[in-house]
Amino acid sequence: MSKKIVYYSGCFANYYDPEVGKALVRVLERNSFEVIVPEQKCCGMPMMANVNIKGAEKNARYNLESLAKAAADGLDIVTTCPSCHFMLKKEYLNFFDSDKARFVSQHLHFIDDYLLALHRAGELDTSFGELPLKVVYKVPCHLKVQNIIKEPVELLKLIPGLSVVGVNTTCCGMGGSYGMKKSNYDMGVELAANVWQEVRAAEPDKAATDCGGCKLQIEAGTGVQAIHPIVLLDQAYKSLQRLSQEPLMKEGAR
């Protein structure tokens, strides 16, 4: 590998959907990166949302120390979780400002944005196999507030055969730990109605979203599987590999 990059996985990719992290590593390795995954804790956003400021600060200081050390040579840092990205990019500066917080913020990139920038510079391997899928993309709120809206869709459109048949930008109603609470269920369902309606109306094969909370909400309300864009890119690379390994003539066809 000719390049090194640091990955902050966050809790969802680390514990709930590890295929996201595995796909991230495979996609970056395909593009000649060596992926470094330093020791890390939860970004602290759930703690902040539940007024545990001391707990959030403890995790923030730990993460900043670990990430700054791993990226000390000026390496880029990437995330796959919109909420983690927002926390490390913006909120650490607002609540726990330090030289390391500024260093991490300056070197941090969201993976969709990062890969699309590589593509625009002519540095992304776009030898994807075909994925004949109709996909509706759900823009997570924590990407929308960072003005990362079009980039995930543009990235998905690089995959041959994949058609983006809808883009939803409204809140899914999960709101992080908010939607996990029984007392907020009715409000969560009310907020999710628009997302569920648009996903169903698009009649997609799959939904795509970068947010783990959005994924859970879409699947619960529509039955449509929701996949992280980085997983779809990984599947497209694998699709090309499968095609290249198939014999030109099948047994018995001669």
Q: In this model, does residue 184 exceed pLDDT 90?
A: no
Q: In this model, does residue 241 exceed pLDDT 80?
A: no
pLDDT tens digits along 60-117: 999 999 999 999 999 999 999 999 999 999 999 999 999 999 999 999 999 999 999 9
One domain for residues 152 and 62: no
- Number of other CB atoms surrounding residue 160 within 10 Å: 14
pLDDT band at 252 (very low <50, low <70, confident <90, very high): very low
Determine the average pLDDT of the residues in 32-36: 97
One domain for residues 103 and 198: no
* C-alpha to C-alpha distance for 213 and 13, rounded to whole angstroms: 12
pLDDT band at 242 (very low <50, low <70, confident <90, very high): low
Q: Which of 194, 200, 189, 84 is nearest to 136 (CA)?
A: 200
Does 77 map to a domain? yes
One domain for residues 95 and 8: yes
One domain for residues 181 and 206: yes
One domain for residues 7 and 114: yes
Select from 83, 118, 153 the last residue of a domain: 118
One domain for residues 103 and 44: yes
Give the three-class secondary structure for 138: strand
Residue 235 is part of which domain span?
128-240
| Residue 211, domain CATH | 3.40.50
pLDDT tens digits along 151-160: 999 999 999 9
pLDDT tens digits along 212-237: 999 999 999 999 999 999 999 999 99
pLDDT of residue 253: 46
pLDDT of residue 173: 86
Does 110 map to a domain? yes
One domain for residues 96 and 47: yes
Select from 78, 100, 118 the last residue of a domain: 118
Higher-confidence residue of 181 and 14: namely 14
One domain for residues 78 and 139: no
User: Considering the chain, what percentage of its residues have pLDDT values greater than 70?
Assistant: 94
Mean of the per-residue pLDDT values for the chain?
93
One domain for residues 136 and 97: no
Q: In this model, does residue 12 exceed pLDDT 70?
A: yes
pLDDT of residue 244: 56
Q: Residue 55: how many CA atoms within 13 Å on its side-chain side?
A: 11
Does 108 map to a domain? yes
Does 251 map to a domain? no
The tally of domains found in the chain comes to 2
pLDDT of residue 183: 85
Does 245 map to a domain? no
* C-alpha to C-alpha distance for 80 and 69, rounded to whole angstroms: 20
Cβ(149)–Cβ(210) under 8 Å? no
pLDDT tens digits along 47-57: 998 999 999 99
Does 249 map to a domain? no
Angle between helices 111-120 and 229-245 (to 10 degrees): 50
One domain for residues 204 and 113: no
Cβ(9)–Cβ(80) under 8 Å? yes
Cβ(102)–Cβ(93) under 8 Å? yes
Determine the average pLDDT of the residues in 199-222: 96
pLDDT of residue 180: 77
Q: In this model, does residue 132 exceed pLDDT 90?
A: yes
Does 17 map to a domain? yes
Give whole-number Cα distances, 128 to 20, 134, 246, 248, in Å.
Answer: 18, 17, 16, 19
Does 60 map to a domain? yes
Residue-wise DSSP of 217-235: HHHHHH---EE-HHHHHHH
Q: Residue 213: how many CA atoms within 13 Å on its side-chain side?
A: 24
One domain for residues 112 and 136: no
One domain for residues 141 and 236: yes
Q: In this model, does residue 247 exceed pLDDT 90?
A: no
Select from 118, 141, 161 the last residue of a domain: 118
pLDDT band at 22 (very low <50, low <70, confident <90, very high): very high
